[in-house]
Amino acid sequence: MKKETAQPLGLYLHIPFCRKKCDYCDFYSLAHSEEKMDGYTAALIRHLEEVAPRAEKHAVDTVYFGGGTPSYLGAKRLVKILRTVEKQYHLTRDAEITLEANPDSAGDSRTLRSLRRAGFNRLSLGVQSTDDALLQAVGRPHTFEQARLAVEAARSAKIANLSLDLIYGLPSQTMEQWRQTLSDAVALAPEHLSCYGLKVEEGTPLYARRDSETLPDDDAQADMYLYAVAYLAERGYAQYEISNFAKAGYESRHNLKYWTLQEYAGFGPGSHSDFGGVRFAYAKDLDAYIRGELRLSEQQDIPPRDRDTEYLMLGLRTVRGIGAKEFENRFRQRFAPLEALLEMYETQGWCVREGDFWHLTPKGFLVSNQIIGNVLDALSADKARRLALAARGDFRIV
């Protein structure tokens, strides 16, 4: 395979095991199940081997072990899986290889050093808060002290790319508590931070008791978000996506694939893929997956020209934004109707134009669902207008 002909590809490996489910979590994960871990590891390896021939012309430049809590699988199993990736796929020398972990399961410096030597070069820790009372209130299985010790172990193991996940809008959380969490997190000197607003998802324990909880309202969450954007910018963490901030050069290369329409292949129950022009997801059934039954829960063929809505919807999540010429050249459609709408939002302080690109401001990100919905409506209306013209034999593009 020649380097110039290789298409980049990201691999997402879902590890659906946790010590316990957090009260707010609606991801597909199950309680720690040691007796199923060997079987699952074997199934994941088998799946990787089966898909490998389809990736023959691709260069894998990111690998992401997500969950669940991948660190609960144990270092030996994780390394075994990564060795399969190295053997079966064209893994680039500078591939970003991420492991998600909770502070209580990340392991000591010796364990993390063995993982780093095996190829893992990025660690994402689910810290969520530095207030132990808040952590306990939502069922987190760790303390802030454990988070601090996990960071210390990672640095001792010479892991140079560390990301911390934080959540704002937790039950009874005050602005002062959020400020303290950000201060404590920055003091740990990670290269990357993800800050997510709490969403109370149906079917979770938190949803069941939502009426008895004191949850920060939308305005309070907005204040927390805007504070985080300003605070992190002052400390060298540039925002590059709605919820993500990084030191220069430490943006998550794997997650950027999702937002820039690059290809990625998912493995494991509940994982999603966008590979070979098809979006698909595997059924959330651990036992069936272990038996080798790769059932799909959804599948959709999307030709390149029909990815215009995805380009707009995902691009407007990023600080890079969407480009007029890029859109017109890629999708052979006019950008003018969209630009007229964006110009109106610019007067409201919700978006800005930089050269040929438009992107949302922090205030715009707060109402991004509304903005993106209106942009997509404008696109649909322009498509309908052009189809009507074509039906009458009028092929004007303006």
Answer yes or no: is pLDDT of 238 > 90. Answer: yes
Q: Is there a single domain that holds both residue 99 and residue 159?
A: yes
- Residue 272 falls within a domain, yes or no? no
Average pLDDT (48-74) is 96
Arithmetic mean of pLDDT, 136-162: 96
In this structure, the answer to whether residues 55 and 170 fall within a common structural domain is yes
If asked whether residues 246 and 321 sit together in one domain, one would say no
* 112 found inside a domain: yes
pLDDT at 363: 97
Residue-wise pLDDT for 340-397, tens only, equals: 999 999 999 999 999 999 999 999 999 999 999 999 999 988 776 655 545 554 444 4
- Per-residue pLDDT averaged across 259-283, rounded? 96
In this prediction the pTM is: 0.93
Percent of the chain with pLDDT over 70: 94
**Is the pLDDT score of 18 beyond 60?**
yes
Domain carrying residue 214: 3-259
Residue 352: count other Cβ atoms within 10 Å of its Cβ: 15
Q: Are residues 235 and 313 in the same domain?
A: no
Q: What is the CATH number of the domain that holds 337?
A: 1.10.10.920
71 plus 176 within the same structural domain: yes
Which is higher by pLDDT, 233 or 211?
A: 233
Q: Residue 184's CB: how many other CB atoms inside 10 A?
A: 18
The answer to whether the beta carbons of residues 358 and 322 sit under 8 Å apart is yes
Is the same domain home to 250 and 338?
Answer: no
Assess if residue 375 is contained within a domain. Answer: yes
For residues 98 and 12, state if they share a domain: yes
Within a domain: residue 285?
A: no
First-to-last alpha carbon distance for the chain, in angstroms, is 44
Do 154 and 47 have their domain in common?
yes
All residues at 6 or more sequence positions from 354 whose CB lies less than 8 Å from its CB, including other chains: 321
The pLDDT value given to residue 396: 44
Q: Is the same domain home to 323 and 251?
A: no
Q: Are 249 and 310 in a shared domain?
A: no
Average pLDDT for residues 271-286, to the nearest whole number? Answer: 95
Question: Beta strands 162-168 and 192-197: pairing type?
Answer: parallel
Is 314 a member of any domain?
yes
Q: Per residue in 86-126, pLDDT tens?
A: 999 999 999 999 999 999 989 899 999 999 999 999 999 99
Stretch 64-87: mean pLDDT, rounded? 96
pLDDT tens digits, one per residue of 178-191: 999 999 999 999 99
Average pLDDT value for the chain: 93
Residues 225 and 162 in one domain: yes
pLDDT at residue 303 in the model: 86
Output the pLDDT for position 329.
95
* β partners of residue 125: 101, 164
Q: How many domains does the chain have?
A: 2
- Which of 259, 284, 314 is at the close of a domain? 259
For residues 168 and 170, give the distance between their C-alpha atoms in angstroms, rounded to a whole number: 6
Residue 269 lies in a domain: no
CB-based contacts of 366, cutoff 8 Å, min separation 6: 222, 225, 226
Last residue in a domain, options 227, 259, 291: 259
* Burial label, 247 (beta-carbon count in 10 A; 0-12, 13-18, 19+): middle
Q: Averaged over 217-231, what is the pLDDT? A: 97
In this predicted structure, the answer to whether residue 2 has a pLDDT above a threshold of 70 is no
pLDDT at 30: 80
Q: Flag whether 127 is in a domain.
A: yes
Check which CATH number belongs to the domain holding 253 and give it: 3.20.20.70
In 3D, which of 184, 117, 194 has the Cα closest to residue 162?
A: 194
Q: Is the residue at 145 inside a domain?
A: yes
pLDDT score for 236: 98
Report pLDDT digits (tens) over 29-47.
887 678 899 999 999 999 9
The 3 state secondary structure assigned to the chain is: CCHHHCEEEEEEEEECEECCCCCCCCCCCEECCHHHHHHHHHHHHHHHHHHHHHHCCEEEEEEEEEECCHHHHCHHHHHHHHHHHHHHCCEEEEEEEEEEECCCCCCCHHHHHHHHHHCCCEEEEEEECCCHHHHHHCCCCCCHHHHHHHHHHHHHCCCCCEEEEEEECCCCCCHHHHHHHHHHHHHCCCCEEEEEECCCCCCCHHHHCHHHCCCCCHHHHHHHHHHHHHHHHHCCCEEEECCEEECCCCCCHHHHHHHCCCCEEEECCCCEEEECCEEEEECCCHHHHHCCCCCEEEEEECCHHHCHHHHHHHHCCECCCEEHHHHHHHHCCCCHHHHHHHHHHHHCCCEEEECCEEEECHHHHHCHHHHHHHHHHHHHHHHHHHHHHHHCCCCCCC
- Residues 311 and 255 placed together within one structural domain of the fold: no
